[in-house]
Amino acid sequence: MRLLVRDNTTPVRLAMRAGGSTCSSTPPRWATPSETVDGDYTGEDLVIAFNPSYLIDGVEAVMGDEVLIETPTP
């Protein structure tokens, strides 16, 4: 994803569902890149968009092999 999202104006969408998550983006004039990763998720399916730089900075700051993302329950 990092190679395909070259600017900070194209959001990265994280679709979370039971069994894993999918990161996707829609850069102008390109095919839609996506990457699916295994993971544990509980709750209703959720799609959230991130500024690519913020998402990358957060993931790179994690010292371990797992990233935990929590969202408030509406």
The pLDDT of 13-30, averaged and rounded, is: 78
In a domain, 55, yes or no: yes
Q: 6-17 pLDDT, tens per residue?
A: 566 778 888 888
CA–CA separation, 1 and 4 (whole Å):
5
Write the DSSP string, 14-57: EEEETTEEEEE---TTS---EEEE-----SS-EEEEE-HHHHHH
Total number of domains constituting the chain: 1
**pLDDT band at 5, cuts 50/70/90?**
low
In a domain, 23, yes or no: yes
In a domain, 21, yes or no: yes
pTM (2 d.p.): 0.68
